[in-house]
Amino acid sequence: MLFAALAASLILQDQPAPELIETDAADALDAPQAELPPPTDAPTLTARIDGQWAAYGELAAQLAARQARERFLAELILPVIARSDLDDGAQGEILRDTRDTVEAVETDNTGWARRQIDPESFVILYTEQPRLARQLLRLAERDDANEAPILAALEPVALAGLIEGPEFARRIDAFRVANDHPQRYGTADTCLNGQTNPGPIEDQATLDERRQALGLPIMAEAWTAERLAVSCEVTETAVEDAN
């Protein structure tokens, strides 16, 4: 198991950062400036570079150092346990003996990434440095316990149109239903007395407004009589079809 995790860690370090589903709406944030030609003078462009460096240079450096630490550790272990001339049982013993070190490094990095994802300011980071934001998400999402704060930080990102709104709605609703909380957007199917039902929903008075803000149809259009008539089992939980 640890060998697979190490291999995956090494491979992922060589890949471009995975992207959340982006939308054309991300470009809409720049729409007021899109009609203007981009600046071409050195002072303006230099000022922009300096501003981004001041805002995110240290964060980028810390992230790179932490990723390098994980990569270095994987590169130390993988070539050794991949050898064909090891003594019987040596591979397993090496993995057991290094497990605590690997887990300590990964846990520390995961916790650090989570602390960088602030619900109030993450949308700014995602707007200005989306690649950096996605790399932080990739680390933080390794621990399922981080899902609640991650979702809180991603909601403004989704509302800004920087990621796919309906997909985010389904993700947060599935999480809330699984944790016995009212849904935010009413996308998840729950079961009530053998019939499909949206179940409890947070602040129903503004539900349609919230749904439309993420590109979802209003509840009356999504929850048709046919959908409500579908029988189900009590343990069944699903989410609104992406289509």
Structure tokens at 108: 């520390």
pLDDT of residue 193: 84
Structure tokens at 230: 């579908």
Q: In the predicted model, what is the mean pLDDT of the chain?
A: 88
Question: What is this structure's pTM?
Answer: 0.80
Report how far residue 39's alpha carbon sits from residue 44's, in angstroms, rounded to the nearest whole number. Answer: 7
- Does 111 score more than 60 pLDDT? yes
Residue type, 205: A
Question: Residue 30 has what DSSP assignment?
Answer: T
pLDDT at 18: 44
What is the per-residue pLDDT across 154-171, written as a single tens digit (0 to 9) for each? 999 999 999 999 999 999
- The residue ranking higher by pLDDT, 59 or 25, is 59
**24: Cβ contacts below 8 Å, ≥ 6 apart:** none
- Put residue 89 in one of left, alpha, beta given phi > 0 → left and psi -120 to 50 → alpha: left
Rounded CA-CA distance 121/59 in Å is 14
Question: Which pLDDT score, from 0 to 100, does residue 234 have?
Answer: 64
The rounded distance, in Å, linking the Cα atoms of 98 and 79 is 14
